Structure 1
Amino acid sequence: MTYAPEWLALREPADAHARATDLLDPLRAALPARSPLVIRDLGCGTGSQCRWLSPRLDGPQHWILHDYDPRLLALAAADLTSADRTVETRLGDLTELRGADLAGADLVTASALLDLFTVEEVNGFAAAIVEAGVPALLTLSIAGRIVLDPADGLDAAFESAFNDHQRRTTNGRALLGPDAPAATTEAFEALGYRVHTRPSTWLLGPELPELSDEWLHGWVGAAVEQEPELAAAAPGYLRRRIAEGFRAEVHHVDQLALPGAD
């Protein structure tokens, strides 16, 4: 799946506000005293994870940005180089990473990525990170829960259909969608890592009108694609929601996977 840079820019403030800052202390404690730190950002998009995380880590850093979209890689590379941060890029399929591909890394990070994987791909992803022996900070995986205010009788139907859409099978791949956090924990713990999971919830509403409107239409559109019988109700549902000035909690989770069991 390819994302438009405009959508990534629109969601970046909500992403930054949602990320679980209480995972940063255990992350810092797990990093080596090395300069520069080498950080592999998988599915980097335009670099929002780097923009958020880099100033929260100490000292010089070298970021290796991975994505399968050359346009996004070019945008990220052009924006992220600074006096104390160097950047290089890698173009390729993230589902095929192996431990050797992560050699030399001190940290692996990814954002809004794992729900696009299959269970087999998450298992391979975890195996590559464990083979490399590095911590992994994995943020903003969808959790499958939406809380809307005011409530509407159709909320549950659209939520269920959207979650099924995220779990759809495409090109022979059964996507994990909201099952990704549990699958990620299981994969890492089976290989001897420990996983800390924290909520990272988008808070949408009138303060973020453009993102809120874009999210709502995308959420309803995906639900209708999955369950076409919702198409007749969708226009009225959207009109009510927009007229009401809705608020939404869009639940995600952040996970920190660390070497060694508790």
Structure 2
Amino acid sequence: MDGSDRAAGSTVDASGLAPDWLALREPADHAARATELLDPLRAHLGGGPLVVHDLGCGTGSMCRWLAPRLPGPQRWVLRDRDTGLLDRAAAISRAAPPRDAEGRPAEVRVAPGDLTGLRAADLADATLVTASALLDMLTEDEVDGLAAACAARPTLIVLTVTGRVEFDPADPLDADLADAFNDHQRRTVAGRTQLGPDAAAAAADAFRRHGAGVHTRPSPWHLAAERAGSADSGATLLAVWLRGWVAAAGEQRPDLARHAGAYLDRRLAECAAGTLRAVVHHEDLLALPGEVR
């Protein structure tokens, strides 16, 4: 997850996320995804038609990015437990239908439901399963269940946060806040211990156990503040992400809270001046059934 639960990150099925946050992060998500995984995916798929199930779809960002990069015709099933986000995804798709590599409009339908109980039968018609920024809020057992449900078909899971963040310029509190944030992501909520930054490795192991070959590539966000004098420098993705990141770290470690306010003020001032850059590391995973790797 790339920030606090409600303000700056992904949750299970993206539930509770503001559509404005998802829209703000979409360009960075699109730029970060590892396009190197698309060649082995296309080689495995061959031609169309394709039926793609997108898990935790939010407002449909994955569909908008991936549909033009794959052959058609395509039918997308957007799955999420947040019906408000599904309504937004459906409206966007009606207004501007995603198109396949040949320019044909893709068919899009939505399917509400909790993904933690997903079974292979729910994906019986899928030729491809996708997800983005989903795994970190799952438990180890839930990731294993997801791999079991998906392992018989190609699966592309992108933008799983790894817990590593780099700032330029550096600050003495960076490492402590990063450790606290990562512990916050691994916390136990309602009896569920979330994997947080351990999710990428857990997913790779799970897909291998279920007989899939696994390809992984880095997919970092490269965030840079807007230059001073811009119309709304405080609303940049970097500033919004930073507020959520610091808040989650302070919640996890109250001893840092007395320093976190001054740290955030310094960092937001750097954002306003256009001098702060951050790299938020993620990993993309492509699992191909029956491939030995």
Question: Separation in 2 of the partners of 1:51 and 1:165?
Answer: 31
Q: Which of 34, 41, 49 in structure 1 is aligned with 2:54? A: 41
Paired AA for residue 79 in structure 1: I
Aligned partner of 2:249 in structure 1 is 223
Distance 1:127 1:167 in 2: 22
Whichever residue aligns with residue 37 of structure 2, its letter is L
Root-mean-square deviation over aligned CA pairs: 1.2
Q: Distance in 2 between matches of 1:191 and 1:77?
A: 33
Q: Deviations over 1:131-161 (max 9, x none)?
A: xx21000000001100001111100000000
Kindly indicate whether the alpha-carbon contact (under 8 Å) linking 1:46 and 1:76 is maintained by their aligned counterparts in 2: yes
Shift of 1:239: 1.7
- Secondary structure of 1:153's counterpart equals coil
Partner of residue 96, structure 1: 117
Q: Which residue of 1 aligns with 2:197?
A: 178
Q: Distance in 2 between matches of 1:183 and 1:80?
A: 33
Q: Deviation digits for residues 188-240 of structure 1, max 9, x if unmatched?
A: 11111111110100011124951110001000000001111111101110121
Indicate whether 1:258 and 2:288 are aligned: yes
Tell me if structure 1 keeps the 8 A contact 2:51–2:76: yes
Partner of 1:21 in structure 2?
35
Partner Cα distance (1:199, 1:191) in 2 = 23
Count of residue pairs the alignment pairs up: 259
State the SS of the aligned residue for 2:125: coil
Q: Secondary structure at the match of 1:232?
A: helix
Gaps of 5+ in 1: none
Equivalent residue, structure 1, for 2:262: 236
Q: 2:206 aligns with which of 144, 163, 187?
A: 187
Equivalents in 2 of 1:180, 1:247: separation in Å? 25
TM value normalised by structure 1: 0.96
Q: Which segments of 5 or more consecutive residues in structure 2 lack a partner in the other structure?
A: 1-10, 98-103, 228-232
3-state SS, counterpart of residue 15 of structure 1: helix
Q: C-alpha separation between the residues in 2 aligned to 1:239 and 1:114?
A: 31
Q: Normalising by the residue count of structure 2, what TM-score does the alignment of the two structures yield?
A: 0.86
**Contact persistence 2:48–2:71 (CA under 8 A):** no
Give the distance between the partners of 1:212 and 1:180, measured in 2 at CA. 23
- Matches of 1:77 and 1:185, distance apart in 2: 31
Q: Could you say which residue in structure 1 is the equivalent of 2:240?
A: 214
Instruction: Give the residue type in structure 2 aligned to 1:154.
Output: L
Equivalent residue number for residue 142 of structure 2: 121
Q: Distance in 1 between matches of 2:19 and 2:48?
A: 33
